[in-house]
Amino acid sequence: MASVSSCNSTIRNNAAGSSMLHPTNNVIEDNPASNENPPTGSIKRKFEEPLGSIVAGHYNNLEEKGLSARNESRILYMRNFNNWIKSYLINKFMNMVRENFHTHSLAAVDLGCGKGGDLLKWTKANIGHLICVDIAETSVRQCKERYEFNKQKRFGAPRFSAEFIVADCTKVCFQSLLGDPTRRVHIVSCQFAFHYCFESLQQAETMVKNAASNLATGGFFLLTIPDANYIMKKLSSEKSNAFGNEVFRIEFPDDRPEVPLLFGDRYQFFLEGAVDCPEFLVHQPTLKRLCLKYGLECVYQKRFSDVYKDAMQDEQSRMLLQKMSALEPYPSPSGTQSSSNSQEYVAACEHLKQQQSDSNVRPCTLTLSASEWQATNIYTALAFKKIELPCQ
Ligand SMILES: C[S@@+](CC[C@H](N)C(=O)[O-])C[C@H]1O[C@@H](n2cnc3c(N)ncnc32)[C@H](O)[C@@H]1O
């Protein structure tokens, strides 16, 4: 297999935002000294063109919506549900890490961190250091601002130090940009972001290398990706190159080859108010082989519906589900459901009918609309453990 490690296109910003071209190696550098020991919270960036720029552009242009706008979203509960699943997974593997490593200062990489939607999860996980990396510069800036804002809080402020890096992790290795490039982290978490690397073997390999090279032996690489088997089954049952519902749509080009590609099997993914971007199918046997090549052994693989079942066995997760409003009350106390289409709640309605009715209590259940449930269940969670490779 080919391998790539093109680590030569670095851009670093100074406070004024001006930059200088370094003639020898395509490095645009303002403040070379800051490379040695960047202060907590400095942003560095490193990426190449071209599809990455579409993805970065898409996420950069996503508006940072306020709480009230988020609360009105058609997919509010699905977003909460996905956040709850991520919390469960991060906690589960952080607990395993705590058993394996007897250190007080655990470190993590949030690969494809976006605007920092998981910062609170890292605070709760009580880590010592977080490395946030993303291709979208605006998102990384917002992530850093969010971290700094949270630091001012009286309660629940993150106690961990953090660094922020802009890099196309499918094209470049970001390790050299770290404050301490010799640091090995205990968890690399790549949530809803890994699939962008399956554009080509080289890109997938660079992404996996970015995870593996930063992980300590015994640490975990966590990912959530769309399940290619599910998507293929849906396409063949619909006898179409597209499928979707009220909240999402997946559309392959008309000229998609009959024999599926291992890499570069591109489709357009649309998610109500959140994503409208090209993505790539991840062929899971290939992913596992690639990971193993870099000492990452698959130890966990579950569709979200099964992660949900597992999480519901755990009392703390059940409490967190309530706290995070990860499911929608049906019928809604306000009289308005996320979808006005009653067909979206047929399962919840049936469930209520089957429950013994107590004349004094209005029966109520927690659910997701059928469309949101289908959209969340596109995803699979995987975890890989970093193992020592035998000397080659
Ligand atoms: C759906 S968002 C998920 C954000 C965050 N992980 C979360 O769960 O909320 C996908 C993220 O992956 C990032 N991303 C896509 N391609 C990337 C690449 N090549 N390198 C680094 N980040 C990338 C995007 O900019 C975006 O922030």
> pLDDT of 72-108, one tens digit each?
889 999 999 999 999 999 999 999 999 989 888 999 9
pLDDT of residue 391: 74
Tokens of 57: 């552009």
pLDDT of residue 66: 65
**21-to-27, 43, 280 alpha-carbon distances in Å:** 6, 18, 34
Comparing 50 with 242, the larger pLDDT belongs to 242
pLDDT at 274: 84
Mutate to test the pocket of ligand 1, among 44, 48, 55, 120 (most ligand atoms within 8 A of CB): 55
Residue 8: is its pLDDT beyond 60? no
**Atom 26 of ligand 1: nearest residue by CA position:** 114
pLDDT tens-digit readout, 227-241: 999 999 999 999 999
Ligand 1: centre distance to CA 259 (Å):
28
Least-confidence region, from 117-126, 149-158, 324-333, 359-368? 359-368
Q: Is the CB of 191 under 6 A from ligand 1?
A: yes
CB 376 within 8 A of CB 368: yes
* pLDDT at site 48: 46
Q: How far apart are CA 111 and CA 133, in angstroms?
A: 5
* pLDDT greater than 80 at residue 63: no
Question: Residue ranges of the domains in the chain?
Answer: 10-63+74-308+375-386, 328-336+343-367
Q: How far apart are CA 225 and CA 297, in angstroms?
A: 17
% of the chain at pLDDT higher than 90? 72
Q: Is 116 in the pocket of ligand 1 (CB under 6 A)?
A: no
280: Cβ below 6 Å to ligand 1? Answer: no
The reported pLDDT for the residue numbered 58 is 87
Residues 49 and 341: beta-carbon distance below 8 Å = no
Ligand 1 neighbourhood includes 123 CB (under 6 angstroms): no
CA distance 34 to 13: 10
- CA 360 to centroid of ligand 1, rounded, Å: 48
**Was 308 annotated as part of a binding site?**
no
Ligand 1 pocket check for 192: Cβ under 6 Å: yes
Q: Tokens standing for 211?
A: 């995870």
Ligand 1 touching residue 114 (CB < 6 A): yes
User: Average of pLDDT values for 10-38?
Assistant: 28
Give the separation between CA 48 and CA 28, rounded to whole angstroms: 13
SS3 of residue 213 by DSSP: helix
User: What is the pLDDT, as a whole number, of residue 367?
Assistant: 96
Annotation: CATH topology of 10-63+74-308+375-386: Rossmann fold (3.40.50)
Q: Crossing angle of helices 76-100/315-323, nearest 10°?
A: 140
pTM of the entire predicted model: 0.86
Query: Token pair for residue 276?
Result: 């409208």
pLDDT at 28 over 50: no
Given the CA of residue 110, which atom of ligand 1 is nearest to it?
Answer: 6
- Pocket probe mutation, ligand 1, options 54, 59, 131, max atoms within 8 Å of Cβ: 59
Amino acid of residue 80: N
Of all protein residues, whose CA lies closest to atom 16 belonging to ligand 1?
A: 196
Interaxial angle between packed helices 201-214 and 284-293, expressed in degrees from 0 to 180 and rounded to the nearest 10: 50
Annotation-wise, does 86 bind a ligand?
A: yes
DSSP string, 260-328: --SS--EEEEEETTTEEEEEE---HHHHHHHHHHTTEEEEEEEEHHHHHHHHTTSHHHHHHHHHTT-SE
Q: Where are the alpha helices (DSSP H) in 74-186?
A: 76-100, 119-124, 137-151
Amino acid at 170: T
Q: How far apart are CA 32 and CA 35, in angstroms?
A: 6
Is 83 known to sit in a ligand binding site?
Answer: yes
> How does DSSP assign 337-359, residue by residue?
-S-S-GGGGHHHHHHHHHSPPPT
pLDDT of residue 256 exceeding 80, the answer is yes
First to last CA, the chain: 15
In this predicted structure, the answer to whether residue 384 has a pLDDT above a threshold of 50 is yes
Lowest-confidence pick of 31-35, 141-145, 149-153:
31-35
Identify whether the C-beta of residue 139 lies closer than 8 Å to the C-beta of residue 114. Answer: yes
pLDDT band at 27 (very low <50, low <70, confident <90, very high): very low
Per DSSP, the three-state class of 119 is helix
Contact 42/35 with Cβ under 8 angstroms?
A: no
Average pLDDT, the chain: 86
pLDDT in tens, 262-312: 999 999 999 998 889 999 999 999 999 999 999 999 999 999 999 999 999
| CA torsion, ordered 237, 241, 243, 249, to nearest 10 deg | 160
**Residue 392's pLDDT is what?**
56
Query: How is residue 326 written in tokens?
Result: 């990860």
191 annotated ligand-binding residue:
yes
Task: Please report the atom of ligand 1 found closest to the CA of residue 169.
Answer: 20
112 annotated ligand-binding residue? yes
pLDDT number for residue 69: 66
The predicted-structure confidence for 328-358, as pLDDT tens digits, reads as follows 999 999 999 999 999 999 999 998 888 766 5
